[in-house]
Amino acid sequence: MTTISHSLHNMLQLPITSYRMFSFALEEFAKLFRTAMTVIFLFMISLFSTPASIVKAFATNADTVQPRHAIAMYGDPAEPEGFNHFRYANPEAPQGGSITYGVVGSFDSLNPFILKSMRSTARGLWDPQFGHLYFQSLMQRSYDEPFTLYGLLADSVAMPEDRRWMEFSLNPDAKWHDGKPVIPEDVIFTYELLAEKGRPPFSTRMKRIESIEKTGDRKVRFTFNPDSNREFPLIVAGFTPVLPSHAIERENFDASTLEALVGSGPYRIASIDAGKRIVYEKDPGYWGKVLPVARGLFNFDVVEIEYFRQETTLFEAFKKGIVDVYMEGDPAKWKRAYDFPAVTDGEIVKAEIESGAPPSMSGFVFNTRRPIFSNRDVRRALVSAFDFETLNKNLFFGAYERTESYWNGSELSSIGRPASEMERDLLGDFIDDVDTDKLSGEWHLPVTDGTGLDRAILRKVMKQLLASGMKRENGSLIQADGSPFSFEIMTRNAEEEKIALAFQGTLDRLGISISIRSVDDAQYQKRLQTFDYDMVIARYSASLSPGIEQAWRWGSRSKDVEGSFNYSGVSDPAIDHLIEEMVASHERDRFIAAVRALDRVLLSGQYLIPLYHVPADWIAHRAYLDYPDATPLYGNRFPVWWDKRAE
């Protein structure tokens, strides 16, 4: 206190000639006083507390944080408290009727949350495409905003600005299919169970959580540890299912089963034909049907999902009326294959539904775990060798556009944008990992003359391959170790095989021998899960709010995790750093800079050969199906469709 008295004495001795100097004196005194009180307070706490409790003493108190109906990654939610329904849903939609989807594959489990059935679980249970029909999360994502969540199992959430913790208030009406209420113990049980027996990424989420505790009859609070980030609370809220603690045998949870768990969603399972069909029936007593996030959704009484071994068989089933909806991805088929009677008679409608989100990145993925693709210069040469223009003209009627960025056409893309100072600062010493033309924003994929034999590009590719240490003997490329440069492309359907065959023709001219192996869905999924391939064609969905899922695709920690989506085997500290920066960003400007920088590093890494996209979703459907005029930001959402026959 001596310092304070001395400073105060000195200030009072100054000639106060103006109000300005008097205000300055008061401000200086206030600063000194606050500092002293803080020191005294910390000293008193230290007499009775551990360092951890000191930190907690300064943590935001739950009583000072007001519960909210929604949370957004950046900014405020678009929909106010008490809103009636999402803009892209029709609350007056007819209720009833049915829809039958078709998918390629099979299923042997009704548990989508374990590794054994990661890629062989019946669709619709926990399904971003057809809707989460059976299991639900604490909050529901709006597909009309980059990343915003609204109340579902939880009717409100409290979260401080630093996102160090979040507390959910469960909806008192939330119930399981057996009539029991959803309680805080269910939330706690879910995380403990999935950490022990679940599949990634569900099994890894406890690593970012310090504690989960019941704080009231309907309240559960998550406290996050330093490994958490600004996005992770939203992952907890909207991307983790809640499972019933009273109806699950913990010991057997990780075994594949065709016995349904107890859910809380709008549908129950009516019947299954293992590997062939699953039928859902709407629960007339669904507790959440009056919620704003559910009005105008889940309009069908019956949702059926049929399984087929091949895409051609699925399309034939659609033509015959066995399946109601067909999502087309082949421009040639879209132009030529829809001349059958049901289309010409108006029984089937061809719809093109646009999206405001960046298109998915699809491409030939290099498995860099294999020595043949460990050299980035070799991968760069093969990227240049893909003749998109000839393929697009001859097979697809010029309908496709080339995908050049992982966030193509959006504000998150690096294409056409030189790296900003903020990006350069985020890259730091990793800036040397970025190709010069990617850093300047001037890079584009090569454009061929469309003849199928662009000699200028082929010469450039050959020059790159020879510079990497290869040599040409008797028309074949030979690697430095003396072995032929050859590899296998694994495909799963006729469409992928067609693209691979076109690429094979180009590579053959360069002396590269490739084989194409088409396998059934079960074998494909097994080999994909264990990274047993040289090259595959994969598709990475894109978002206007990319987050921690990028670590599961490109992060070093996911490289050797069975079942991860790190198909290319990426392990790069620059990528790890930028993903961390991206999910930790408090301001959207910094977030955008981190994503653009990540885009540049991924493109420079040459982890795949980018393919192409169409500017809209091509969907053929029965004329008795309909959907709202308003399309959400992220494009088509099947849960808002309805059956006009129910009117």
Q: Which two tokens stand for residue 583?
A: 């999910």
Q: How large a percentage of the chain has pLDDT more than 70?
A: 90
Look-up of token digits 């409608």:
349
What are the residue boundaries of the structural domains of the chain, listed by start? Answer: 2-58, 361-613
Whether residue 545 is predicted with pLDDT greater than 60 in this model: the reply is yes
Q: What pLDDT does 329 receive?
A: 85
Rounded Cα–Cα distance for residues 202 and 219 (Å):
22
Whether residue 5 is predicted with pLDDT greater than 70 in this model: the reply is no
DSSP state of 250: G
Q: Domain 361-613 classified CATH 3.40.47.10?
A: no
**Mean pLDDT computed over 239-260:** 95
CB under 8 A, 24+ apart: contacts of 439-445: 439/600, 441/414, 441/415, 441/416, 441/417, 442/418, 443/404, 443/415, 443/603, 444/404, 444/415, 445/383, 445/384, 445/388, 445/402, 445/404, 445/610
Q: What pLDDT does 115 receive?
A: 86
Look-up of token digits 């169970």:
193
SS3 (DSSP) at 212: strand
Angle at 137 between CA 132 and CA 141, to 5 degrees: 75
Model confidence, pTM: 0.77
- For 281-301, the pLDDT digits (tens) are 999 999 999 999 999 999 999
Give the count of beta carbons closer than 10 Å to the beta carbon of residue 497.
Answer: 17
Whether residue 16 is predicted with pLDDT greater than 50 in this model: the reply is no
Question: Which sign does the torsion angle of CA 475, 477, 481, 484 carry?
Answer: negative
Query: One-letter amino acid identity for 250?
Result: R
Q: Which two tokens stand for residue 641?
A: 């469709």
Rounded Cα–Cα distance for residues 138 and 242 (Å):
7
Q: What pLDDT does 52 receive?
A: 41
Angle at 468 between CA 466 and CA 470, to 5 degrees: 50
Whether residue 620 is predicted with pLDDT greater than 90 in this model: the reply is yes
**Mean pLDDT computed over 337-346:** 96
| Paired residues of 232 in beta bridges | none
Q: What pLDDT does 614 receive?
A: 87
Contact 209, 222 (CB under 8 A): yes
SS3 (DSSP) at 378: helix
Q: What pLDDT does 61 receive?
A: 59
- For 588-599, the pLDDT digits (tens) are 999 999 999 999
- For 194-236, the pLDDT digits (tens) are 999 999 889 999 999 999 999 999 999 999 999 999 999 999 9
Rounded Cα–Cα distance for residues 581 and 235 (Å):
17
Residue in 143, 130, 134, 147 with CA at minimum distance from that of residue 85: 143
**Mean pLDDT computed over 417-431:** 97
**Mean pLDDT computed over 50-66:** 54
Residue in 341, 343, 289, 382 with CA at minimum distance from that of residue 89: 289
More confident residue, 45 or 628: 628
**How do 535-540 and 486-491 pair as beta strands?**
parallel
Listed range (50-59, 106-115, 199-208, 306-315) with the worst mean pLDDT: 50-59
Q: What pLDDT does 9 receive?
A: 36
124: left (phi over 0), alpha (psi -120 to 50) or beta: left
Rounded Cα–Cα distance for residues 184 and 624 (Å):
42
Rounded Cα–Cα distance for residues 289 and 298 (Å):
9
Contact 384, 457 (CB under 8 A): yes
- For 128-140, the pLDDT digits (tens) are 999 999 999 999 9
Rounded Cα–Cα distance for residues 647 and 129 (Å):
25
Whether residue 340 is predicted with pLDDT greater than 90 in this model: the reply is yes
Look-up of token digits 């982890």:
607
Confidence of residue 63 (pLDDT cuts 50, 70, 90): low
